[in-house]
Amino acid sequence: MEALTPPSKRKKSLQAAAIGMVAGLLALAVWGAGLLDLWELDTWTWRVRLFARPAEVTSRIKLILVDQAGLDWGKKENGWSWPWPREVYTAIIDFCRRGGAGVVAFDVFTTEPSIYGVSDDKSLAEGICRGPSFVAPICLGRQAGEETVWPADVPCRSPFNIENLQPWLADPRRKVIFTPKATFPVQPVASAARALAAVADDPDTDGIFRRAFLFRIFDDRAVPSLALAAYRAGLTAPPASAANDGCPPAETARLEDGRLHIGALSVPLDSEGKLLLRFRGRTGETFQTFGASAVIQSELRLQAGEGSPSIDPSVFRDSYVLLGLSAPGLMDLRPTPLSEVTPGVEIHATVLDNLLAGDFLRDVPLSPLLAVTLLLAVGAALAGARNTRGRHAVLTFGLLLPLPAAISLAAYPLGLRWPFVVGELAVGLSLVGTTILNYRTEGRQKAFIKKAFRHYLSPAVIERILDDPSKLKLGGERRTLTIFFSDLAGFSTFSERLDPETLTHLLNDYLTEITDIILDEGGTLDKYEGDAIIAFWNAPLSQPDHALRACRTALRCQRRLAERRAHYVAMAGAALHMRIGLHTGDVVVGNMGSHQRFDYTVLGDAANLASRLEGANKAFGSSIMASEATWHACEEGLRGRELGRIRVVGRKTPVRVFEPVALASEELTDDADGYGEALALCCEGRWQEALARFEARPDDPVSKTYAERCRQLIESGGQWDGIWNLSQK
């Protein structure tokens, strides 16, 4: 009995909460160890692609690319091999100046003297001096580089002061920001440039560039990235003089709360000092891009006065112009979340775009992530613990598993990179854990219930019990039930003539037919006693229409037996006739027996009366007899007649009994009114008149029984109170 007792809701909730907490902590531990990084990076790529949209400032950034077509043009038209003469870049700078560009930044190194001579380098320097604010790149590295200290002949144009830098750099995670070696542009270019900038970045562990340094450390100096240097150059006009050794006025930034503050700009940095990039769109489709050869030819046409150029220089007005390489052979292509092949300069453009727009992405702080992950895990466990059926589990999995993804997606527009896989793992582990918990508790309980009740409950009733086992009280309870008792008339007599095999086959076939109807009507099979069947309704589940169900079952059983009667005659040589007794009353119902073996059964006078009513059918020749309690509980759904009042063996109080003959929706072919009139006359003691009415119904066994009683009373002249006193069970 105790095996069926479910754990308390409080106890199970505590168990589920513990499972959720363990699942959440385990998921966080795996995530903290970096074992989920590759999957997390993949899911971040999906989010980047989903939310990539240009900003208002995106149009202010222009790209000029030395592409394969430009290399082919230079070779064919001018005989230039790579690297091009640096004087060529002067035309690009002049065109940008002509168009009113604000800043020009090169992602093309000039670290080696020009192969075309010193005059070539000077020509580029002169172009830089007369052009917009110019940013030149420094080649910073950990292994390769010519310098380990800042050269004395290079003006200190790019370093800027950062408050709290040294304490911030003390974190071991920021060692990647240090670059011990550097190669500078040739001296004329370095001296002419407004700023010198770092261009080297490191990809994520999967080789994809999603983050970028805003500055690197060389010779204990903070060197801004190309994008940050261009951003700073665009804030102020170029200096009017070469005061301070040609350097712009010192600009102080500060590191505080994981952010780099530059004036009004506050940029979030990750633990390594990188900015998480908000990509704006696919490569070649986001920033307005021009081929270097087209720009050069446009400037040369304007200088020669040869008419309209292919590019209107005004397109660069107040823009940040970045020059880079996109030809495959120049080895400056990088994979990003939006493209496997992206020019490196486009990554710098993305950083600059983020700085101008100010809508930065950042990693979610650790505390909210820990709290939400644990909350998701515990919540999923509590929800999973409430699953009572397989479809409930499927629904719970279907609703909760997408929840971490929804949180991650919702966080992106808010500027947060919310890890997805760790939440998914926490929820998944919680749901799996509670599924195991359900199996170990309710699962085994349900298996026990199915095994214990499958022989005497319909599958539908068992499923309803499994949905809510608390509806099943074990050990006995008092309830009002409608009890069904049936028996075969004369079974003992003809069974003696049958061999055991035939008898067994006959009985099994008959019991199967009747039992199927009982279970189909939601009844509970109590037991078989030979050919007798005992069943009841309204337990273990409540059935408000239990009386009608029992009566409908009785009618269906009699009709099914009539359909099969010829088959049984052929099998047994005798027709099978069934008598059914029905009574509604209070009984004790529950599992009765020992701890090792028990039956779900009923005890009480109501059960005994149903058995007596089955036998009372013999006195009237009826096939179904229902007590007054049963009849009044469902008379609106039935058609039938009153049989009279009887006093059964072992019971002093007479019982008024009825015979259901059809459902209310069915029409009767029998003259029910004629029988009712005859019974009323009989009850009034008008025997002669009643006899005539009963004799008019020679095919009705009940009318024949009453006709015989009327004759006896007429012959004896006796009195009768209308109660049939039965002496047999």
Encoding tokens for residue 25? 């902590």
Contacts 24+ apart (CB under 8 A), 24-29: 24/373, 24/374, 24/376, 24/377, 24/378, 24/426, 24/430, 25/374, 26/426, 26/429, 27/373, 27/377, 27/422, 27/423, 27/425, 27/426, 27/429, 28/370, 28/373, 28/374, 28/422, 28/426
List the one residue out of 584, 722, 725 whose CA is nearest residue 647.
725
User: Are 438 and 476 members of one domain?
Assistant: no
In a domain, 376, yes or no: yes
Residue 210: pLDDT band with limits 50, 70, 90: very high
Q: Parallel, antiparallel, or unpaired for β 103-106 and 320-325?
A: parallel
Same domain, 420 and 277: no
Tell me how far apart the alpha carbons of residues 623 and 628 are, in angstroms, rounded to a whole number.
16
CATH code where residue 558 lies: 3.30.70.1230
The H-or-E segment that residue 614 falls in is: helix 605-620
Residue 207: CB atoms within 10 Å? 9
The 10 Å Cβ neighbour count of residue 649 is 13
The set of residues, in sequence order, having a beta carbon less than 8 Å from that of 665 and lying 6+ positions away, is none
> Of 308, 331, 358, which marks where a domain is finished?
358
What pLDDT does residue 650 have?
81
Q: Which pLDDT band, with edges at 50, 70 and 90, does 594 fall under?
A: low
Q: Do 181 and 150 meet the contact criterion of CB atoms below 8 Å apart?
A: no
User: Average pLDDT for residues 193-216, to the nearest whole number?
Assistant: 93
Last residue of a domain, one of 325, 358, 391: 358
Position 244 pLDDT exceeds 60: no
pLDDT bin (cut points 50, 70, 90) of residue 670 is low
Task: Give phi and psi for 207, each to the nearest 5.
Answer: 85, 5
- Token output for 718: 């006796």
126-135, 274-283, 454-463, 602-611, range with the lowest pLDDT: 454-463
Between 157-166, 501-510, 627-636, the lowest mean confidence (pLDDT) is in 157-166
Which structural domain, as residue segments, surrounds residue 550?
Answer: 470-669
Please indicate, yes or no, if residue 458 is contained in any of the structural domains: no
Average confidence score pLDDT of the chain? 88
**Mean pLDDT, to the nearest integer, of 294-314?**
92
pLDDT at 2: 42
For residue 660, being part of any structural domain is answered with yes
In angstroms, the CA 190 to CA 153 distance is 9
Q: How far apart (Å, rounded) are the C-alpha atoms in residues 655 and 615?
A: 14
Q: Is residue 199 part of a domain?
A: yes
Give CA–CA dist 582/611, Å, rounded.
Answer: 8
Per the model's pLDDT, the better-predicted residue between 393 and 621 turns out to be: 621
Write the pLDDT tens digit of every residue in 268-296: 999 999 999 999 999 999 999 999 999 99
Is residue 443 predicted with pLDDT exceeding 70?
no
* pLDDT tens per residue across span 467-508: 666 555 556 789 999 999 999 998 888 788 888 888 889 999
Q: Is 35 helix (H, G, I), strand (E, B) or coil?
A: coil
Q: Specify if 40 maps to a domain.
A: no
- CA triplet 361, 366, 367: central angle to 5 degrees? 125
- What pTM, to 2 d.p., does this model score? 0.66
Kindly give, in sequence order, each residue whose CB lies less than 8 Å from that of residue 331, ignoring residues fewer than 6 positions away.
none
Average pLDDT over residues 354-374: 95
Q: Tell me the pLDDT tens digit for each residue of 167-187.
A: 999 999 999 999 999 999 999
CA distance 501 to 487: 21
Same domain, residue pair 695 and 665:
no
End-to-end CA gap in the chain = 35
Instruction: Render pLDDT for 35-57 as a digit per residue (tens, 0 to 9).
Output: 999 999 999 999 999 999 999 99
Tokens of 519: 């279970």
Q: Are residues 598 and 701 in the same domain?
A: no
Q: Per-residue pLDDT for 635 more than 50?
A: yes
Q: What mean pLDDT is predicted for residues 119-143?
A: 93
Tokens (6 digits) for 516: 């199927």
Is 518 in the same domain as 541?
yes
Same domain, 274 and 240: yes
CB count within 10 Å of CB 259 equals 15
| 675 and 664 fall within a common domain | no
Q: What tokens appear for 222 in the block?
A: 């903070």
pLDDT tens, residue by residue, 680-711: 999 888 999 999 999 999 999 999 999 999 99
| Count of domains for the chain | 4
- Taking CA atoms, 540 is separated from 469, 560, 695, in Å, by 10, 27, 46
Same domain, 350 and 475: no
Query: Torsion angle of alpha carbons 566, 567, 568, 572, nearest 10°?
Result: 100
Cβ neighbours of 457 (radius 10 Å) = 23
Question: Based on the domain organization, do 300 and 260 belong to the same domain?
Answer: yes
Q: Both 238 and 268 in a single domain?
A: yes
132 lies in the same domain as 160? yes
When pLDDT is cut at 50, 70 and 90, the band that residue 242 belongs to is very low
Q: Which residue has the higher pLDDT, 620 or 156?
A: 620
Distance CA 228, CA 469 (A): 67
User: Residue 3 — very low, low, confident or very high, per pLDDT cuts 50/70/90?
Assistant: very low
Whether residue 197 is contained in a domain is answered as yes
pLDDT at 469: 61
Q: What is the pLDDT of residue 629?
A: 96
CA atoms within 13 A on the CB side of 52: 21
Please give the Cα distance from 607 to 625 (Å, whole number).
14
Residue with tokens 């270097």: 292
Whether residue 626 lies inside any domain: the answer is: yes
In angstroms, the CA 338 to CA 336 distance is 5
465 pLDDT more than 60 = yes
Report in angstroms the alpha-carbon separations of 124 from 67, 85, 112, 117.
Answer: 21, 9, 13, 12
Instruction: Specify the amino acid at residue 279.
Output: F
320 and 413 housed in the same domain = no
Last residue of a domain, one of 669, 697, 721: 669
Q: Is residue 51 part of a domain?
A: no
